[in-house]
Amino acid sequence: MTPEKTRAIVIRAIPFGETSSVVTLYCRDFGKLRALAKGAWRPKSSFDGGLDLLSVCQVLVLRKSSGGLDLLTEACLENRFRVGGSFGAFLGGMHVAELLDAFTADADPQPELFDRAHATLRELSGLDASDRIPALLVAFELAVLRIVGHAPALFACAECRKPLPAAARTPFGMLDGGGLCDRCRGGKRSVISISRDAMAALRLLAGAPDSAREAVLPGSVAGEVRAIVNTYLSHILGRQPKVARWLQRSQTRRQAGS
């Protein structure tokens, strides 16, 4: 069996024995895989710090044809995630890792998803400007939802598909998958009301990847958008993402301090 090479993001690492580790990687070519890295924490190992959480690395992996862990034989670090002056940036990186794990199946490669995650982690790494974090994360979340087939309807009614009219507030059906026109709103459950500014922010961040790179959402809009996306993710996953509640608290503290 010949080791295969790919680029990977380290999204989880669990100690195994005294010097080894079981790692969960999201690979550009192979999708999500779980592998045993024997002797990962030995001095002068063939992993050389490449398995740090949220790192991007080139790996060599022996892939098993049946169940069980793959075997990681080498990892060469490309980019280490740096925790800068913003705790929110680290939380954001952990949220990216959690969503990669939650929304993907093993051995199901999604190169576009890898590229978006990689780009988002690069932006967050060492980031001190905490006001940029909300837009970066929402743009990534919307990209994940689009790639896996759960993109919310933001421009047309999720029910009748007619364009959503401009309004001060727009009904948004969590169970229906997005915005609703007034005609389709009746009788729906789990519907919230989104402000014009929050809807505009969601539409902007659902666009081209560059739309979020320098975007800064006003505090009140960032808080509303964070609550909307958290709730939507929870409805799809059937549970609230673990890091999401901390992101919400962090955003609330920023609003209170502004």
* b/e 41-77 (16+ beta carbons within 10 angstroms → b): beeebbbeebbebbbbbebbbebeeeeeebbbebbeb
Among the candidates 20, 54, 79, a domain finishes at 79
Do residues 245 and 130 share a domain?
Answer: yes
The torsion defined by the Cα of 37, 55, 33 and 145, in degrees rounded to 10, comes to: 170
Both tokens of residue 90?
Answer: 């680290």
Query: pLDDT per residue over 48-95, tens digit each?
Result: 778 999 999 999 999 987 778 999 999 999 999 998 777 889 999 999
Residue the block writes with tokens 């964070």: 226
Do residues 68 and 125 share a domain?
Answer: no
Among the candidates 79, 103, 131, a domain finishes at 79
Q: List Cβ neighbours of 86 (8 Å cut-off, separation of 6 or more).
A: 127, 128, 129, 130, 133
Contact 142, 202 (CB under 8 A): yes
Which of residues 251 and 184 earns the better pLDDT score? 184
Do residues 95 and 65 share a domain?
Answer: no
Query: Mean pLDDT, the chain, as a whole number?
Result: 93
Cα Rg, the chain, nearest whole Å: 20
Strand pairing of 56-62 and 70-79?
antiparallel
Residue the block writes with tokens 């192979």: 30
Query: pLDDT per residue over 90-113, tens digit each?
Result: 999 999 999 999 999 999 999 999
Prediction pTM value: 0.94
Residue the block writes with tokens 């961040």: 205
For residue 7, the tally of other CB atoms under 10 A from its CB is 19
d(CA 18, CA 127): 34
d(CA 87, CA 250): 9
Q: Is the pLDDT of residue 255 over 90?
A: no
d(CA 141, CA 226): 10
Among the candidates 35, 58, 79, a domain finishes at 79
> What's 63's domain CATH number?
2.40.50.140
Query: pLDDT per residue over 229-251, tens digit each?
Result: 999 999 999 999 999 988 888 77
Query: pLDDT per residue over 125-147, tens digit each?
Result: 999 878 899 999 999 999 999 99
- Phi-psi sector, 183: left (phi>0), alpha (psi -120 to 50), beta: alpha
The sheet carrying 178-179 orders its strands as: 178-179, 169-173, 191-195
Amino acid of residue 126: G
Q: Which domain holds residue 119?
A: 87-257
Give the pLDDT band (50/70/90) at residue 258.
low
For residue 88, give the DSSP letter: H
Do residues 231 and 180 share a domain?
Answer: yes
